Amino acid sequence: MPDLDTKTLQEYDRKYVWHPFTQMRDWEAEPPVVITRGEGCYLVDSDGNRYLDGVASIWTNVHGHCRREINDAIKAQVDRIEHSTQLGLANDQAAILAKRLVEIAPAGLCKVFYSDNGSTAVEIGIKMAFQYQQHRGATRKTKFISFVNAYHGDTIGAVSVGGIDLFHGVFRPLLFPTILAPSPYCYRCELCPEQDSDMCGRLCLAELERLMAAHADETAGLVIEPLVQGAGGMIVHPPGFLKRVRELCDRHDILMIADEVAVGFGRTGTMFACQQEGVTPDIMALSKGITAGYLPLAATMATQKVYDAFLGDYRELKTFFHGHTFTGNPIACATALASLDLFETDRLLDSLPPKIDYLRARLTALEELSHVGNVRQCGMLGGIELVRNKADKKPYPWEERVGMRVCQEAKKHGLFLRPLGNTIVVFPPLVITLDELKFLMDGIETSIRAVTDP
């Protein structure tokens, strides 16, 4: 139990903590829920209330909270060593994890560069691709292709290749310019009137082909969230899109950087999303699920081709001059290894199909509700888009915060949810049982009805 009572904890939080993506004036107006424990798929607050963790603590948790096997691995590692640097030294856990990651990654990704969060994993990929082109003499290839509605993190480089103006518009003067490609079904480009039709997928691909051909000689890399644009609203790309992007990158000699920070580690039903389309990117960014939601760790994986371009005599200055203090932290790496062990002992990926089917059935049923405009799913993630008017798909004005109100309501039904604008996100720990998934979807349905159809 915590040493301090709920009131004191709430006071400390509101007085001293500045929360991410949060209007603090609103935050200060209400006492926060203070989480002090976790059990399986549940979060427990300082008063003992339980909430099913419907968004896996922002898309990180895989095997549930306080999973004994992972806790034990961490305790064992702490008693050996907590941290040693990767600058001038190797450590056992980082070496073993790198081998394991190469074994499960799309074939051809064979080198692991560690950092500690998703944004850095992407920035490292961008810098690697840029420097790769310089080393091989393609010195004009300095730009990047990014997608409308993409999200790759909040550091300046990651924001530069992102496409969500609502969050990032204010930072525009600080960003490097990119070649912005339209993204299928994203509701945010003007390319086609019927946003969710096959036509949209075809038009977006045609425009991407045109952009890549026109800018091939000045483009170092393309950055993409494979299969699903996560923070952009759980927008699922049409089948075959990713594979086509891979072919185009090959044709135009552009490095493909796949950001699997959200979709990696089983979320879409396969270990990595790229594997569903048989795609090997040149560079792949991993974080969130890598430690099953326990500790900050990230990896940027690269192919032999990319790696080899950095080899040379020291005086040639081909070294990749980039690194973070906690790179390859042994406790985080031991945690990731314990998580990969659990994927095997729990046969976790094999256990997903019935849950994915159940989620599909429940999401499809929700489409009947009068204010659900559209539902989307890819494996164990889902998005439920709420609209004011179903007939013309008129969205609720974002200022009304309908998504947030549904999530507030869901607390009363024992759920913790966090929306993306007017989209309710379903992203539970992969270990969730069918009974728990039913509880989650029942609560979501009740909460949507209560807020949108009172």
Ligand X SMILES: *Cc1c(COP(=O)(O)O)cnc(C)c1O
| Binding-site sequence positions | 118-119, 151, 259, 288, 323-325, 418
| Piece of the chain touching ligand X by CB under 6 A; list 99-107, 202-210, 256-264, 416-424 | 256-264
Instruction: Give, as ranges, the residues between 268 and 287 that touch ligand X (CB under 6 A).
Output: 287
Tokens 């760790």 appear where? 297
Binding mask 61-100 for ligand X (x = CB under 6 A): ----------------------------------------
Nearest-angstrom CA–CA distance, 248 and 413: 47
Residues 6+ apart with CB under 8 A from 274: 106, 226, 242, 258, 260, 280, 281, 284
- Kindly tell me which residue out of 91, 117, 300, 303 binds ligand X, with binding defined by CB under 6 A: 117
- Kindly tell me which residue out of 70, 181, 223, 262 binds ligand X, with binding defined by CB under 6 A: 262
Least separation in angstroms between residue 116's CB and ligand X is 8
Q: Provide the token pair at 89.
A: 């030294």
375 scored as a contact of ligand X (CB under 6 A): no
Q: Provide the token pair at 310.
A: 């950095």
151 scored as a contact of ligand X (CB under 6 A): yes
| Piece of the chain touching ligand X by CB under 6 A; list 21-29, 149-157, 240-248, 361-369 | 149-157
Residue closer to ligand X, measured from CB, 124 or 440: 124
441 scored as a contact of ligand X (CB under 6 A): no
| Piece of the chain touching ligand X by CB under 6 A; list 73-81, 179-187, 258-266, 391-399 | 258-266
Query: Do the Cβ atoms of 199 and 192 come closer than 8 Å?
Result: yes
289 scored as a contact of ligand X (CB under 6 A): no
Instruction: Output the CA–CA distances (angstroms, integers) from residue 327 to 21, 262, 303, in the order listed.
Output: 26, 20, 20
| Piece of the chain touching ligand X by CB under 6 A; list 150-158, 233-241, 313-321, 406-414 | 150-158
119 scored as a contact of ligand X (CB under 6 A): yes
230 scored as a contact of ligand X (CB under 6 A): yes
Q: Provide the token pair at 183.
A: 């993204």
Type and span of the H or E element at 166 = helix 165-168
259 scored as a contact of ligand X (CB under 6 A): yes
Least separation in angstroms between residue 150's CB and ligand X is 8
| Piece of the chain touching ligand X by CB under 6 A; list 113-121, 314-322, 385-393, 400-408 | 113-121
Least separation in angstroms between residue 20's CB and ligand X is 9
Residue closer to ligand X, measured from CB, 261 or 338: 261
427 scored as a contact of ligand X (CB under 6 A): no
What single string gives the DSSP state of each residue in 183-218?
-TT-S--SS-SSTTSHHHHHHHHHHHHHHHHHHGGG
45 scored as a contact of ligand X (CB under 6 A): no
Parallel/antiparallel/unpaired status of strands 381-389 and 42-45? unpaired
379 scored as a contact of ligand X (CB under 6 A): no
The closest alpha carbon to 443, from 403, 411, 420, 418, belongs to 411
Annotated binding site for pyridoxal 5'-phosphate: 118-119, 259, 324-325
Strand order of the sheet with strand 219-224?
109-115, 298-303, 283-286, 255-259, 219-224, 143-147, 179-181
Least separation in angstroms between residue 252's CB and ligand X is 24
Number of residues that bind ligand X (CB under 6 A): 15
The closest alpha carbon to 265, from 344, 382, 150, belongs to 344
Least separation in angstroms between residue 126's CB and ligand X is 12
Least separation in angstroms between residue 426's CB and ligand X is 15
| Piece of the chain touching ligand X by CB under 6 A; list 4-12, 69-77, 116-124, 210-218 | 116-124
53 scored as a contact of ligand X (CB under 6 A): no
- Kindly tell me which residue out of 123, 196, 225, 409 binds ligand X, with binding defined by CB under 6 A: 225
| Piece of the chain touching ligand X by CB under 6 A; list 63-71, 255-263, 345-353, 400-408 | 255-263
Residue closer to ligand X, measured from CB, 59 or 396: 59
Backbone torsions φ then ψ of 263, nearest 5 degrees: -95, -10
Other C-beta atoms lying within 10 Å of the C-beta of residue 44 = 16
Nearest-angstrom CA–CA distance, 184 and 197: 9
The closest alpha carbon to 83, from 272, 296, 383, 252, belongs to 296
Other C-beta atoms lying within 10 Å of the C-beta of residue 369 = 17
Residue environment code for 224-257, b if the CB has 16+ CB neighbours within 10 A, otherwise e: bbbbbbbbbbbbbbbeebbebbbebbeebebbbb
Instruction: Output the CA–CA distances (angstroms, integers) from residue 211 to 117, 218, 235, in the order listed.
Output: 31, 11, 22
**Measured at CB, which residue is nearest to ligand X?**
118
Binding site for ligand X (CB under 6 A): 117-119, 122, 151-153, 225, 230-231, 259, 261-262, 287-288
